[in-house]
Structures are given as C-alpha cells and as structure tokens.
Copies of this chain bind each other. A is one copy, B any other.
Amino acid sequence: MHSGGVASRSADQRDVRESRRDPRESRNGNPPLDAVSLAIIEQLQEDGRRPYAAIGKAVGLSEAAVRQRVQKLLDQGVMQIVAVTDPLTVGFRRQAMVGITVEGDAEEVADALTDMPEVEYVVMTAGSFDVLAEIVCEDDDHLLEVINKRIRALPSVRSTESFVYLKLKKQTYMWGTR
C-alpha cells in the first residue's frame, strides 16, 4: 500500500493565512480529505451497506465516482467497513483497558502492543499514561497472561494499570453526523 501518495493537493489552498483555520487538515501523514469524501464517510457511518447510488445522490456524485472513492478510502486505510459488536454481549471474552507508562520511546511500546492479537485498540496519549491499550481475552487467565507476562515484559514499560470492563454502555461511530 501507500503506493502513490503523490499529488493530493488539497482543495481551497488559497487561504493559507486564513484567520480561522480550516477544520480539516492532514494531521497524520495521510491525505487531507475533501468535503465530498467526508460526506461519503458520514453516509457509511450511518449504514455501512448503503448502496453507492444512494450515497451518490446524497453527496452529489455519480454512482461510479462514489464507488471509486470508497475503494480508495478503503485501500488507503483511511476507513474500514466492518461489523462491530460488544464482545461482552456476544458472550465470551474478558476485556480491559490498560494504561501504561513508558521510560523510553513510547511509540516503540505502542508498536509492540500493536503486534499482539489480543490488543484491539492502541492510542498514545498525554497525561499520566503514555499509552492506552484495550485488550480482549478469552478469560481471566488469558488476560492475566497478556498483562503480566507480555506487556509488563516489554523493556521500556515502567508501569501498568488495568481497568477490567464491567459493562459497555455506549459505542458510536457517528462523529460528523450530529
């Protein structure tokens, strides 16, 4: 992936010195998305199976154009269309959020966590934790093993604190549409 990465001139470049900065800017390394792609994403956040034609009607594009843009967004990893559930509801598994403080490079710890299959979610943060990781496990033994044997075994990890999930109350993907 990341074949091209070229071009990608954002629209509306004339106001570089604009007072109120445009809310959408590249913040990662990724492509700055234009308003149309944003609108497409919003459509798919409401319903991941919505037909391309319906999306096109909503955002003012042809069906084929929507299809191409969606495909590109998926290929670039900007978005993914998936089924999401609450693992606890689904049945098995123990979940926990683990806050981690790091001695050296926090990013390399985050990368190590990323490689673990039990880790669903990794984010680097500012605050009393350097990294937050969400873990999904089979049972308590498995959870214990991941936290104590694998995460704490990482060289740069100074300390960890765990928050075992008791009940998921909300899970939305509707930002941009409210």
Contacts and interface: CB of A to CB of B under 8 A. Distances in A.
Nearest to A175: B136
Contacts of A113: 169-170
Interface of A is mostly: mixed
Contacts of A75: none
Contact of A79 (B84, B91, B96): B84
A48 B49 contact: yes
A25 B92 contact: yes
B120 A175 contact: yes
Interface residues of A, number: 72
A49 to B, nearest CB: 6
Nearest to A115: B170
Contact of A45 (B82, B111, B162, B166): B82
A178 B47 CA distance: 26
Contacts of A166: 123-126
Contacts of A27: 88-89, 91-92
Contact of A97 (B24, B47, B125, B165): B125
Contact of A128 (B83, B117, B161): B161
A38 interface: yes
B91 A165 contact: no
A89 B29 CA distance: 8
A102 interface: no
Contact of A44 (B82, B87, B107): B82
A134 to B, nearest CB: 9
A106 to B, nearest CB: 9
A159 interface: no
Which 5 pairs from chain A and chain B are nearest by CB?
A24-B91, A44-B83, A23-B92, A125-B163, A48-B81
